[in-house]
Structure 1
């Protein structure tokens, strides 16, 4: 399936909807093909803007969805794609899991904490009674030891999984996904806060706030100490760079997709 990509501040983002993104993940899982997906909001795009090597990693992903409304607006403003909705990571996760449950394809959960996984797994099984969870493991909250990538990949392959959901938080989950993609014959989805949302540990904002692109304000209210730098500093920087790209004051040249292994990555 061919999709259109747009340059948003030097990061390539795909102009897709939920159905198109879901179809690509399910096809890769069914066919045992590697695929790296992430859903980027403003913070995710800005991690690439501020870190060129990471930007190159993001530009190597097979699918980057516009997780936040401001990213969807940017695609429409800069490239006239006419997208009518974002492709929000937690919601995309549910679409994908519904299809994997229907087709009997097992999934693996990587990241977060034991406590979160203990709430998440029964919640997903209640939503999707036919879902097969092949295995799970929490984050170690450190960098990988030499050779640990192969150990993790072997555990995932041995489980029989056909999809890995990665919930390590941005940008750790994107680095992990980039590092593991060459080692696994299945899709990996970096799904951000989906683990916490679906485990019932984070309250979702009202639909009107989501439509208005104000989810960041909701999250800031829930976790001000942890998130204030992300939103108070990065949101204005995003808007300023978007205006500069639109007016031609800044070229926002995307770096070539990365191909080299990362020296260290989070696990």
Structure 2
């Protein structure tokens, strides 16, 4: 699709449901801010697709869109269904030699909506619009989850290595089939092929781009306001309040 208001060449690559979440630190059942959380990320559920992606975003928040901030991230899990993703976002316990039993709190939903991945002059952009919460609260403000935003999205070439103390270990990076590895054409990043995100360990770079993707790119995200019984995080991710505190999603409040 093309934006009639400018000369940008826009191609819709993928669209679907997006869910933002955070997991508190070990033994932290009452987080009060970003310093109390261990991980922040998002789940992409493409419409009509068979794979669901759980993606971790560095610095435990989204990049500042208007400042074109850059954040590194990686694909933590590829699953056949949203239900499989939810099982890994539940809480649990584990034993340690020095501290005994430790508790890992369940992940909390922090936002849900719709997304689109488009090619803008040959560069992937991830755009989204929130459906919940209806009003941003402290959680969304601190995690920089805007009502809608767009980010330049690039996938890292695992054969190009990483700086010291940065990125995933070599054994955790994806082993792409030759046909996909060739998409990099020797470059450090690929800008065009969303299929590269369908592998666990795929590393990506998010760069803040716009706060008005619908106006900028002519993409109709078609977000709808929802209530508890209709919330996709509840229905499709099965993040029911008996396992996942939902105040961050509906009220924008830390637990």
Greater helix proportion: 1
**Bigger share in strand:** 2
- Do Structure 1 and Structure 2 share a fold, with TM-score over 0.5? no
Q: Give the TM-score normalised by the residue count of structure 1.
A: 0.30
- TM-score by length of structure 2 reads 0.31
